[in-house]
Structures are given as C-alpha cells and as structure tokens.
C-alpha cells in the first residue's frame, strides 16, 4: 500500500481531490480503490466542458472484474481529461495519485472541499474497511 | 463460516487479494490478474483448486451406477486413469453440476465436482448410489494444484521421480496416473485443465501441498488467482457452473450437447426430458459474442435479437484478445443483428463460434 499524499482530500467512495496552484481541482481514485477494482481495462471519461456535481457519477471505470461509477468530489466544469487513460487505463493501477489522475474541474463552490475527508481520516476509513 | 484450503497462509504471504468463493477464502489475484493470465498463456501458472470436491466411488456396481448418474457415457472409459467430462442431470434434464470422472477399474472411479455445489452434489450422488450399493467417499485429505501453460508439463515433469517421468510425459490428454513428486510425495497427475492450455491438475496429500507449491514456484511456475482462471476458461470456451448453466438449463441450451450420449438401452437420469426437448426443438441456444468496440460484456446484461431478448452469461474483458467476449443465451433461430445493452447503451456485437482462444492464440474469426 503506497503512502496517502497529505495534500489530498477524499470522498468516502475513494475518489481524491487535489487543489492545484491555479485553483483547479484534480480528481482521481485512491490507491486502495484501484487495488480493490483490479486491472483496469477501460475508462469512460467525461467531456471537456461538461458540468459535474459533487457526489454524482462523472466517470465509469471498467476493470476485468466490474464496472464502477466514479463520483466527482466537487461541483463545477470539467476543464481537462487525462486522455492517456483511453489507451492505457492501467496507469491508474500503476500510479493512482500521480499520472493516474482522471480529470480536472473548475470548482463552483469552494465550501464543498470542507465536506471531504482529509488524508488521515481517509486512512482511518480504509483501515476500518479492511477489518 | 469460511473454509480455507491448506495453501491459505501461502496465498496471504504472497500478498494475494482474497475473496469469498462459494464459501471458500480464495485468492482472486496476487497483484495483476492480467499478468497472471498472460503467464498461463505464454509460460506456466498454477492455481490452488483445493476447494474442489474429490469423491471416490467404490463398489461392484459402480460402473452401472455411473451409467445411470451421468449424461455422458462412462462406457468410453476403458483404460486405467482415463477421464471424462460429463453433466449430472436431474429428472427434468436440468444441470445439477458438471464434473470430471476418472476410471480406475469397474469397481472404483473418482469424480471431481465443483466447490460451490458440494453439499447438493454429495446429497444427490449418495441418494442415487444407495440402490447400487456404491460407497461414496469424499476425499478432503487431498489438496489440488492446477499447473497450466505451454511450459507447465515440462516444469512438473522436472519435479517428478526420474522413474515416473517418461510415463507421465507420455500421458495422453484427459488421462491421469500416479507418480512420485518432490521428496517422494505421492501424486495423482491428470492431464486436464480449465484454461485452454496444456498442463496438469495434480492431487496431492494435504500435508504435502505447501511443499509442492513451493517446488513449483522455485521452478518458475507463477501463482495465478481465480480471476485469471475465469478469463482463461472463458477465452477457452469452457462453461462455468452457476453462470452458464444450472438446474433451469438443459445441456442442449448450454452448448453441452457434445457431452450427451443417447446410446441404446442406457437409462440415465434426465434422458427422457432431454429426448423430449430435442424432439420438440430447443428454444434457447448459447452463443459466443465479441465486442469490437470499447466496453466490457458482463453477466446479466440484456441481449437484443430479432427473435427477442437473451442475456449475457459469462462475459469479461479477454486479456489475450484485448477486447470483451461473452457467452449469451438467446432465443433459437436466426438472430439478425445482435446488440447488447451496456448501461443503457445498445452496442452491436458479433456472434462467433468459440473457443475464442486455443493454445495461446486467438481462434480464426475472433
């Protein structure tokens, strides 16, 4: 299990959000989540310009095992998607917190960030899930 | 209550992701299911299949009993160690389970049935065996390791006693024999499998299973989980009980007609129902599907045809093909353009003859 970066905020459903220097929010799934899903084979990315709602499905990840909805941690407009995932979804398996990011959002309500778990709280959540 | 095989601690020490499989705590993968899949297609992999149920049948009338119990004909088994795949049916022709039966002599056979159906199978076999005076003896003292892949046999042969090696090397497909493994451990080596690759399924006394596993690992055989086993058998066109057939399905509807022997004068359980269905025409058929665009076919998805709806049985991303394939049960007759409802989207698929993959390579037309 790789270390959970301290600057990330999490949904209980294992998506992470990172506020970048330019104010955009980068979104991905946790290393724990990629491990649970297993080898990813297909990513259905949102359209650039699409609007996403906090806690609503924005992406579909298909692993060998199952299809999973990925929820957006914050509301706003999709600014960029990680096109590299179209050909190599396994990047998420290899580097969930780095190159495996999925999309970035221009947030419409900064207060939503306060609703998210910090890294310690998320670590505790998955710790409890494992027992 | 979850059962554990004797290799449970070995799997955990290897970092396996464990899941509940029919009441057994089993490894789904040891990191990457796709890499394990490729290891079996290209080299050699091994699976702990000790959860499967091994049953020995003894008694003077065992042959007669199996002629009654099984839809395939044990009369095909004439040589010691020869194996046969068969369905075990109920009176309605529904599939109680699929199994492999090994022949030793007319009064001693061995069957290997699925883990998830163990209690049901044992109850049925015992009930049917009683009038024949056949003793039904479960063999929980055996663990079972499947070693599969183009290099699997070679790696196993290297571990056998030198005296046994030539004999096991010559073992034909679907045949089994006793041999001595590392340190003289007694093995029952069968040239069978569930991956579409050559290889062996090995019965080993439980207390020797960890040593055999470790010797195989040292020989370069890669541990593979039940996840890879599932994608390998799907590519190889092999049915999974509970997903592709069960009591509500006859072998005609599960593409298992090749295992039915309607030989003269043999009154096996379910025969009358099968003959009636055949005479009236089978209403559903099982077909192979390939999805050429992105997406994954999965169990339970709706299949749309010119003759009505069907459903996906086994479906998955196929690592060897790098696209999704599936078995589906659809209404009989010319289906026209087939589409599958994937999360509300109707996606065109191609009907193909399967297996999808054999001996490491995609089959023609896939």
Query: What number is the ipTM of this complex?
Result: 0.85
Q: Please identify, among B190, B211, B237, the residue that sits at the C-terminal boundary of a domain.
A: B237
Same domain, yes or no, for B168 and B189?
yes
What 3-state DSSP class applies to B48? strand
Query: Which member of A42, A66, A67 has the closest CB to residue B294?
Result: A42
Q: Are B266 and B275 in contact (CB under 8 A)?
A: no
Report the pLDDT value the prediction gives residue A3, as an integer from 0 to 100. Answer: 82
B189 and B338 fall within a common domain: no
* B34 to chain A, closest Cα gap in Å: 7
The closest of B45, B327, B48, B87 to B198, measured between CA atoms, is B45
How far apart, in Å, do the first and last CA atoms of chain B sit? 43
Asked if B216 and B159 touch (Cβ cutoff 8 Å), the reply is yes
B195 shares a domain with B81: yes
B193 and B327 assigned to the same domain: no
Q: Known binder of ligand: residue B322? A: no
**Among candidates A42, A62, A64 on the partner chain, residue whose Cβ is nearest the Cβ of B33:** A64
pLDDT at residue number A2 = 62
Which chain B residues are closer than 8 Å to A35 by Cβ?
Answer: 17
**How far is the C-alpha of B117 from the C-alpha of B59, rounded, in Å?**
24
Provide the shortest C-alpha distance from residue B32 to chain A (in Å).
6
User: Which of A39, A41, A67 has its CB closest to that of B343?
Assistant: A67
Are residues B261 and B231 part of one domain? no
The residue out of B237, B252, B283 marking a domain boundary is B237
B207/B82 same-domain check: yes
Distance separating alpha carbons of residues B168 and B155, to the nearest angstrom: 12
Token pair 């991956």 is at which residue? B195
d(CA B187, CA B207): 12
Cβ pair B16, B27 in contact under 8 A: yes
Residue B130 and residue B274 in one domain: no
Which distant-in-sequence residues (6+ apart) come within 8 Å of B263 by Cβ? B73, B75
What pLDDT digit, counting tens, does each position of B14-65 carry? 999 999 998 999 999 999 999 999 999 999 999 999 999 999 999 999 999 9
Do residues B20 and B152 both lie within one domain? yes
- Which pLDDT tens digit goes with each residue over B307-330? 999 999 999 999 999 999 999 999
**Hey, is B97 helix, strand or coil?**
strand
CB-CB under 8 Å, B316 with A38 = no
**What is the DSSP pairing of strand B222-223 with strand B45-48?**
parallel
Question: In this structure, what CATH number is given to the domain that contains residue B272?
Answer: 2.40.30.110
CATH number at residue B166: 3.30.1360.120
Residue B231 has φ and ψ, to the nearest 5°, of -70, -30
pLDDT per residue, tens digit, chain A (131 aa), is: 568 999 999 999 999 999 999 999 999 999 999 999 999 999 999 999 999 999 999 999 999 988 999 999 999 999 999 999 999 999 999 999 999 999 999 999 999 999 999 999 999 999 987 65
Residues B310 and B199 in one domain: no
Is the domain of B188 the same as that of B247? no
> For domain A9-121, is the CATH number 2.40.50.100?
yes
Tens place of pLDDT for every residue, chain B, 366 residues? 689 999 999 999 999 999 999 899 999 999 999 999 999 999 999 999 999 999 999 999 999 999 999 999 999 999 999 999 999 999 999 999 999 999 999 999 999 999 999 999 999 999 999 999 999 999 999 999 999 999 999 999 999 999 999 999 999 999 999 999 999 999 999 999 999 999 999 999 999 999 999 999 999 999 999 999 999 999 999 999 999 999 999 999 999 999 999 999 999 999 999 999 999 999 999 999 999 998 999 999 999 999 999 999 999 999 999 999 999 999 999 999 999 999 999 999 999 999 999 989 999 999
Domains: count for chain B: 2
Last residue of a domain, one of B237, B256, B283: B237
Q: Is B294 exposed, middle or buried (0-12, 13-18, 19+ CB in 10 A)?
A: middle
Measured between alpha carbons, how far is A99 from A92 in angstroms, rounded to an integer?
7
* Dihedral (CA of B336, B247, B49, B256) sign: negative
Residue B53: how many CA atoms within 13 Å on its side-chain side?
24
Please tell me whether residues B177 and B197 are part of one structural domain.
yes
Subunit contact A38:B231, Cβ cutoff 8 A: no
**Residues spanned by the domain of B267:** 238-362
Token reading at B220? 């370069």
Same domain, B72 and B37: yes
Q: How far is CA B226 from CA A95, B51, B233, B236, B329, in A?
A: 25, 11, 10, 15, 24
Strand order across the B83-89 sheet? B83-89, B95-105, B108-113, B53-58, B135-138
Q: Are A85 and A101 in contact (CB under 8 A)?
A: no
């Amino acid at each position: 299990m790789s270390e959970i970066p301290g600057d990330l905020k999490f949904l209980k459903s294992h998506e992470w959000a990172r506020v970048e220097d330019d104010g955009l929010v980068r979104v991905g799934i946790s290393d724990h989540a990629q491990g649970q899903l297993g080898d990813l084979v297909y990513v259905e990315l949102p359209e650039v310009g699409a609007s996403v709602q906090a806690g609503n499905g924005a992406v579909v990840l298909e692993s060998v095992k199952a299809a999973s909805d990925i929820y957006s941690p914050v509301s706003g407009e999709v600014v960029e998607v990680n096109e590299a995932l179209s050909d190599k979804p396994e990047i998420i398996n290899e580097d969930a917190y780095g190159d495996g990011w999925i999309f970035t959002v221009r947030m419409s309500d900064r207060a939503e960030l306060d609703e998210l778990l910090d890294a310690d709280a998320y670590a505790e959540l998955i710790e409890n899930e494992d027992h | 209550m979850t059962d554990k095989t004797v290799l449970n601690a070995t799997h955990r020490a290897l970092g396996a992701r464990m899941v509940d499989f029919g009441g057994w705590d089993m490894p789904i993968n040891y990191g990457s299911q796709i890499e394990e899949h490729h290891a079996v297609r290209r080299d050699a992999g091994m699976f702990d299949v000790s959860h499967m149920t091994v049953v020995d049948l003894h008694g003077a009338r065992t042959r007669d009993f199996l002629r009654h119990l099984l839809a395939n004909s044990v009369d095909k088994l004439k040589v010691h160690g020869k194996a046969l795949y068969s369905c075990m049916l109920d009176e309605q022709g529904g599939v109680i389970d699929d199994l492999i039966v090994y022949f030793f002599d007319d009064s001693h056979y061995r069957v290997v049935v699925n883990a998830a159906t163990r209690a049901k199978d044992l109850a049925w076999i015992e009930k049917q065996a009683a009038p024949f005076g056949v003793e039904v003896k479960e063999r929980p003292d055996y663990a079972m390791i499947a070693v599969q892949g183009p290099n699997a046999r070679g790696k196993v042969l290297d571990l056998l006693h030198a005296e046994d090696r030539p004999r096991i090397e010559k073992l034909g497909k679907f045949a089994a024999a006793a041999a001595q493994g590392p340190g003289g451990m007694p093995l029952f080596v069968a040239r069978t499998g569930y991956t579409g690759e050559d290889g062996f399924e090995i019965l080993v006394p439980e207390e020797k299973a960890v040593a055999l596993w470790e010797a195989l690992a040292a020989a370069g055989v890669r541990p593979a989980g039940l996840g890879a086993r599932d994608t390998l058998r799907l590519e190889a066109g092999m049915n999974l009980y509970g997903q592709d057939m069960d009591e509500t399905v006859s072998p005609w509807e599960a593409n298992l007609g090749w295992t039915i022997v309607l030989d003269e004068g043999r009154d096996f359980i379910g025969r009358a129902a099968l003959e009636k269905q055949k005479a009236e025409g089978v209403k559903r058929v099982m077909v192979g599907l390939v999805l050429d665009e992105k997406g994954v076919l999965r169990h339970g998805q709706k299949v749309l045809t010119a003759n009505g709806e069907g459903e996906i049985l086994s479906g998955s991303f196929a690592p060897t093909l790098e696209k999704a394939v599936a078995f589906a049960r659809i209404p009989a007759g010319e289906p026209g353009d087939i589409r599958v409802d994937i999360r509300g989207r109707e996606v065109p698929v191609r009907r193909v003859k399967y297996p999808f993959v054999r001996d490491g390579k995609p089959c023609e037309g896939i």
